[in-house]
Structure 1
Amino acid sequence: MKISLIERKLKDGSINLAIEYYKGSEITSEGKRKHIREYENLKLYLYGEPKNANEKKENKETLLLAKKLLAIREAEYYQGKFDLKNTTKGKRRFLDYFHEKTEEKSGSLKNYGNWTATMVHLKRCIPSNTVFDDIDEKFVKRIRTYFDKEARTKSDLPLSLNSKYSYFNKFKACLRSAFDEGYLAINYASKAKSFEQAESQREYLTHEELQSLVNTECKYEVLKRAFIFSCLSSLRWSDINKMVWAEVREEYQDNELVFKIHFEQQKTGGIEYLYISKQARDLLGERKGNLDRVFIGLKYSAVYNNEIVRWCNRAGISKHITFHSARHTNAVLLLENGVDIYTLSKRMGHSEIRTTAIYAKIIDQKNKEASNLIPELSF
């Protein structure tokens, strides 16, 4: 690629300075040669016909600045081409950079929480004066060993496999970003082996257990409606808790009244729409103002979490059920009743089909268990 400074004469007689990136040429389908160029407007201007010494001096200074910017762009290009590290950036402290990347994740509460938790651990194992020039493969291996052997939870227990997986991946993500931005000449993240991710236990309710909950009194009526609605719709707690009536839609399609929820996923930020059944819609109650919350009084608290456990106990359910178990319940019930995994993945809002496939394993296990339910015959 050729990088050069060019001048463009404007209608008012002034000259605009820009950097041209010439990326070669190609032959079009018509057999003509097409030159590939990109431009960066420096927003610097020269007098086309300087009238006095001051204008000539200003032109000289502006042109000198433009040439310095050109030199910077050329240096950045060769830095990337030959894996050269920016020596000034190499003096930046790693933990300061990681903190900056952490703050960039503040828009997503769950992701931000994982980054801040990782930051806590990195402060324990990385000296505060560590700069990017200090980072090499031994450094990365030492951080992995810390997460694997030394890191402890607040309860002074070793990290779970999933915590190791999550925290070390945040560390690797920071290394990748540092490489992309010129702080590192080598992408050490590509050389570091991640931890295996353990399959988490997904507790769910059978249809019979869900019916038992419907028939059992719950101390908080709004909690009961919200939990059962999640079982019927798959919506997360965060999306149910913030739901307003403007997100609840009713419309006719092919002369049939259908119900949908249009919402922005709290976890991913993606805009989604979700069809729900009439029974699920009835749980929402009477429509109110567009900006009114649907589940008024619903809140996250230890009192509500404990009531879910007591409610299950009163219904004769001994499983460890949390509000998120309602989402797992929806997935299992849909698979049991013939929904294909791709449709389920879309309804659940999963970005990867492998996340949804875990529910298929649950169904497969149930089929395996069912094969042994018939008592043995005597021959």
Structure 2
Amino acid sequence: MSHYHTCTTVSLLRRPITNGRLSLYLDFYPAIRNPETMKMTRREYLGIYIFAKPRNDAEREFNRSMIERAEAIRCMRVTSLINEKFDFLDHEKMKSDFLAYYKKKCRGQDQKWDIVYKHFFNFVQGHCTCGEITVDLCKKFREYLLGANQLRLTHLKISKNSAAGYYSTFRGFLNIAYREKMNKENVNDFLEKIETDDVRKEFLTSEELKKLAATPCDIPVLKQASLFSCLTGLRISDILNLAWDDIQLAPDLGYCVRIRIQKTDTETMLPISDEALQLCGERTEGRVFRGLTRSMVNYPLRKWIAAAGIKKHISFHCFRHTYATLQIASGTDIYTVSKMLVHKNVTTTQIYADLVNDKKRETVDRITLK
């Protein structure tokens, strides 16, 4: 035990505040260092108040009871300091605004983080301290997501698979909060994930892709980005962020895209075909698909797909499915496709192999728009 701690004395002091009350606080002498923040502190306010001038027996009894409670805390602090335990310094942090911390952490993350934050904000009705983040609260948030309505289309429920994705994102955030000591315990150890339902992965056949490529679109940049996704397997988030600096000539004299995959925060180098490069247009500065917005992948995309005579329910993400399925159908091995999709696990890619009937598509040409 260090001499520093044997010297520390803890005194119970009081300070006048409003309405004829006194606030009780502890004074540490000399000051103690918070081992987490490294800041020196002399005082700990207990949140206990007494009457400055008690007027009757009831008020005197109240004062005696409160001083007794404060004295008990003082004794606990002395014991903690002797044992060099500083858990009590977390007290203020536990009262801090968890929602403010959460919102700050959403900066620089993908759109899903904002959606999950808004749902959590609604769930706790706009108020939550760090100390309130318990296993029970997080389990109740899981139940909330399974029955909540969407934020934008408020008449529709969140799908089970969306709820599973949201809860997974929330649990990832809880891990960060625990690492940064905003939560006292790792509540994730006690939480169950939401299981997803199997959903049919829609994709375009080689003929449908050619038909789509031949169909004019009201928004040229949407058509370029969509076909680029079919030829590269890139997600909308990565295509929106793609800059000309990311497209570089590789040593084999072919072009590569150097990107940080937003979903998995993985940096990678992916070769792209000349056809994909042509879809990017003339090389300039800044973003490749300038003018492309997320809103375009809703109604404008559906309108263009309908104009091509395609009856399937095709979202922008289905272009990624199209890339994977047509690659496997044309004979590319599953490990190569997995690397191109930047999957962490090849079992994720296996889903696409299951969509392709064994040997039936081995004769299909490599993906092309012509």
Instruction: Give the structure-2-normalised TM-score.
Output: 0.64
Aligned to 1:241: 240
Q: Would you say the 8 A contact 1:94–1:131 is kept in 2? A: yes
Aligned to 1:145: 143
**AA in 1 matched with 2:238:** D
Aligned to 1:294: 288
Question: Displacement of 1:205 after TM fit?
Answer: 0.4
Are the aligned partners of 1:236 and 1:327 in contact in 2 as well (CA < 8 Å)?
yes
- For residues 357 and 85 of structure 1, the distance between their equivalents in structure 2, rounded to whole angstroms, comes to 50
Residue 267 of structure 2 aligns with an amino acid whose one-letter code is I
Deviates more, 1:220-229 or 1:177-186: 177-186
Q: Distance in 1 between matches of 2:220 and 2:3?
A: 70
- Structural mapping, 1:269-308, within 5 Å: 269-286=265-282, 288-289=283-284, 291-302=285-296, 305-308=298-301
Deviation at 1:278, TM superposition (A): 2.2
Cross-structure match for 2:87: 86
Q: Residues 13-61 of structure 1, C-alpha deviation per residue, up to 9 Å, x if partnerless?
A: xxxxxxxxxxxxxxxxxxxxxxxxxxxxxxxxxxxxxxxxxxxxxxxxx
Measured in 2, the distance between the counterparts of 1:236 and 1:123 equals: 32
Q: Do the aligned partners of 1:162 and 1:198 also contact (CA within 8 Å) in 2?
A: yes
Structure 1 residues 316-325 or 98-107, which shifts more?
98-107
| Cα pair distance change 1:214/1:129, threshold 3 Å | closer
**For residue 105 of structure 1, what is the aligned residue in structure 2?**
106
The whole-number CA distance in structure 2 between the counterparts of 1:325 and 1:242 is: 19
Q: Gapped runs of 5+ residues in structure 1?
A: 7-63, 74-78, 371-379
Distance across 2 between alignment mates of 1:240 and 1:72: 40
**Hey, what does 1:168 align to over in structure 2?**
167
Matches of 1:282 and 1:147, distance apart in 2: 43
Q: 1:292 to 1:153 in 2, by over 3 A?
A: closer
In 2, are the aligned partners of 1:230 and 1:326 still within 8 Å (CA)? Answer: yes
Distance of aligned partners of 1:338 and 1:245 in 2 relative to their CA distance in 1, 3 Å threshold: same
Per-residue deviation, residues 328-364 of structure 1 (Å, max 9, x unmatched): 211111111122222212211233434333323322x
Name the amino acid aligned to 1:318: K
Q: Is the 8 A contact 2:130 2:182 kept in 1?
A: no
TM-superposed deviation, 1:229: 1.9
Partner of 1:350: 343
Does structure 1 residue 340 correspond to structure 2 residue 333?
yes
8 Å Cα contact 1:207-1:333 kept in structure 2: yes
> What is the Cα deviation at residue 195 of structure 1?
1.5
Query: Residue 331 of structure 1 corresponds to which residue in structure 2?
Result: 324
Q: Does 1:263 align with 2:256?
A: no
Question: Quick one: distance in 2 between partners of 1:87 and 1:293?
Answer: 50
The correspondence of residues 14-25 of structure 1 with structure 2, limited to 5 A, is none
Q: What's the Cα RMSD here? A: 4.1
Partner-residue secondary structure (3-state), 1:249: strand
SS at match of 1:104: helix
Secondary structure of the residue that 1:263 maps to in structure 2?
strand
Q: Distance in 2 between matches of 1:229 and 1:184?
A: 43
Structure 2 counterpart of 1:361, one-letter code: D
Letter in 2 for 1:147: L
Counterpart Cα distance in 1 of 2:244 and 2:130: 51
2:315 partner SS? coil
Distance 1:322 1:178, change over 3 A: closer
Moved more, 314-323 or 235-244: 235-244
Q: Displacement of 1:68 after TM fit?
A: 5.0
Q: How many angstroms apart in 2 are the aligned matches of 1:95 and 1:68?
A: 20
* Cα 1:293–1:147 shift into 2, 3 Å: closer
Amino acid aligned to 1:335:
I
SS in 2 for 1:261: strand
Separation in 2 of the partners of 1:295 and 1:122?
Answer: 37
How many Å apart are 1:161 and its aligned residue?
A: 1.6
- What is the correspondence of 1:1-379 to structure 2 with a 5 Å cutoff? 86-90=87-91, 92=93, 96-124=97-125, 128=127, 132=131, 138-148=136-146, 150-154=147-151, 155-173=154-172, 175-176=174-175, 180=179, 186-251=185-250, 253=252, 257-286=253-282, 288-289=283-284, 291-302=285-296, 305-363=298-356, 366-367=357-358
Report the AA paired with residue 302 of structure 2. V
Q: What do the CA deviations read for 1:239-281 (whole angstroms, capped 9, x no partner)?
A: 333433333223552xxx4222223334444332111122222
Does the CA contact (< 8 Å) of 1:334 and 1:344 recur in 2? yes
Q: Which amino acid aligns with 2:192?
A: K
Give the conservation status (yes or no) of the 8 Å contact 2:99–2:128.
no
Structure 1 distance, partners of 2:358, 2:115, is 36
Structure 2: segments with no counterpart, 5+ residues: 5-29, 39-79, 362-370
**TM-fit CA distance, 1:190:** 1.1
Instruction: Find the aligned partners of 2:226 and 2:334 in 1 and give their Cα distance.
Output: 23
Instruction: Determine if contact 1:105/1:111 at 8 Å carries over to the other structure.
Output: no
8 A contact 1:102–1:112 mirrored in 2: no
Q: Which amino acid aligns with 1:355?
A: T
Q: Aligned with 2:218: secondary structure?
A: coil
Q: Measured at CA, do residues 197 and 69 of structure 1 come closer, stay the same or move farther in structure 2, by a change above 3 Å? A: same
